[in-house]
Amino acid sequence: MPDQKQLRELQAPLKQLYSERPETALITLTAEGVVDLERIGCRVPLLVNDGRELHAGLHPAAAGNGTMACSGELLLQALITCAGTTFAAVSTAMGLKIASCRIDASAVMDFRGTMGVDRDVPVGIQKLRILFCVQSEAGEDQLRKLLSLTERYCVVYQTLSAGAEITTELEHRAS
């Protein structure tokens, strides 16, 4: 794992490039999935995982059988992985010694919305909670600053809290 100095050295050329040529910082992230109509789900290849597929489907509260990942849980996992990576990078950049950190996330979702039972109930997660369980000799003020910077620079956290413009398109081919 890089230390504070090594991380700065790794990031310095990128920061300089993005400062001098802002257009180079605009990266398009992509993902692809195949709808699994037989199992009522979706398969997503994880390219960094030797192309193995992630299988997602209905949550048991929506009549799933619990054998496939639920998209809401995957959203929490994306939040945790992003927050954890950001936490590690920021703590390294701050020169803090963290013995360990576990992140727990929970979400409250009313399935009446997604199941179409009550149109007044929103579809999706209404409340998110993230708990950072940190073991460190760092002071409370340093850890509060670390948490604040983690929130500020975590892509998934910021996307969820600020929202993003989303468009949907359809490409139709006759079968």
pLDDT of 21-39, one tens digit each?
999 999 988 888 889 888 8
Looking at residue 45, its pLDDT comes to 85
Residue with tokens 């992230």: 29
Position 30 scores a pLDDT of 83
CATH of 66-160, one of 1.10.357.10, 3.30.360.10, 3.90.110.10, 3.30.300.20: 3.30.300.20
Residue pLDDT, tens place only, 57-98? 999 999 999 899 899 999 999 999 999 999 999 999 999 999
Give this prediction's pTM: 0.87
For 117: left if phi > 0, alpha if psi spans -120 to 50, otherwise beta; the answer is: alpha
**In the chain, where the domains are located:** 66-160
Identify the DSSP state of 144.
H
Written as six digits, the tokens of 114 are 């997604």
